[in-house]
Chain A
């Protein structure tokens, strides 16, 4: 990579950080418990809007994994989720009415919180419908992974987004508060992913899965990116560029091996496709606050009108992380 390009990226990183600094005024603290954060704590960052029904399971899932503190931006919810979050003893929550899109889909807000509170911590950045799976997650807490990453001098951990869906229509089985969403959306696509290297940021660009198969059957290039780097040993100089797909400095995006070996990686189970989805898609279409003028949601709405069925004969039913590792969707790397 040439000097010019790396200089260009440095300028870009500065720009995102300045933007985050500027956007911090949009955040009103509702419950700020960040003084509870201890030196080695594992932090989780998230933005949410009207996800009250999902929050109880989300919080308990990550508490069990070993997250010590949650830092959440609430984007103008009106379903009581803000109040619910403010009541939690290990959650700090900020509120904003500003546009999700204008903050680059929440990235600016979270970049600010990470800059302010994440420095020196392992930070996990996930949406309320994303559930991290990593090697040995059934027997070892997240701390075991971060300790091992520290010992191996690894600063970022890749976890591809794996879209989960139910068998049958999306709205057949209603989701109940506190329920594990994977009890309903327990199916996934095991092997229809394509990937390409992004030459300027050095990250892999992964597409495919059920959304590409069903919603973007004839235009796969429009299907959403699935590569994610949600777990990072944060430094105040870092910045997410676009969602958690890629970071700057670009070295953090090098989460794959280019010489034939496998680095350790995880999976984000994406429990987006529950009965709540149809309503959500309609709302998002009205708000137009999502990526690329919500082209994704347009395609969903179009397909869902006819036959809201993502399941096919070759769908795989989720069992555990070992299954995902055997299928080649994630890897233990040299962690044993």
Chain B
């Protein structure tokens, strides 16, 4: 080894070491700067996307949360303190989701986090919240593997595994559907999971699956899949993906003269479905946990307040779930008479028949919620209207 190489090695080593040393110093100084847990407010963090592709889930969730906090604060606060919502945008990116979760916990000292509305980031955030012993309540994650992360992790969404069997029962009995064509978007984890649940439930309910087609998020041409489906003459098409593809699929179906309507999960529930699909999506159905129609007194009050605040706009599923998330946390804290996550998490787990705006919520022993009723919406005259409220059994 000559002189030059030795110097290079030494210098790079020194530089690298000095860099890490520099970082360490900066880090060690940090905890002192971090604000002490403010005793006069109860801080609840919001984790979700406010910009980017999935902002359409994050924004309404935050709106709902803020509404709930304002209502509680106007009524004198919680345990004699005001609620403060701390928002942080993760752009739907996992790495940023992890950073945001850490920030909310260690910088802002929140006692609970609501979010993320998507399953992927919730799964990233859950181990962090569990380790730091902060309650994480997801308002939107429907996929598997969320609450399994530990006893600080909850969610308030209607689960596919509960909603789909109830829906199939309704279809088989009230609508007389027997033959179903299933379409899955196989690069979308939500869609793959929903289809799996549907196929498993259909098997036990005696529904015949006549076609099982695969598409991808971002596809524009669905003629091949629909030609196959048309030949099988299904009573209804089950599509588990999002509204963009759903609208295009229905346009193609009508073009080919297929009469069957589409049915899907909350992924179809968006005004964009009608905007993109026009008359083709007339009759399309979406099963989800919230509808502003046929409201219970609690829901009616929420819908009215929401309309007043947002100049006449109707609240959506995520508004309602965000609102319920804060109310669930507040209810648990009241019952536990404590804002310590280690204490009120037990109360949250024991929630039974909580009257939420998105239905009656009960927590099971595994911290998974059961919600009733299920709302089945149908596109009628270019608008989502309530077709039926399907009850779900609560123990």
A complexed with B: no
Q: Which residues of B does A touch, CB under 8 Å?
A: none
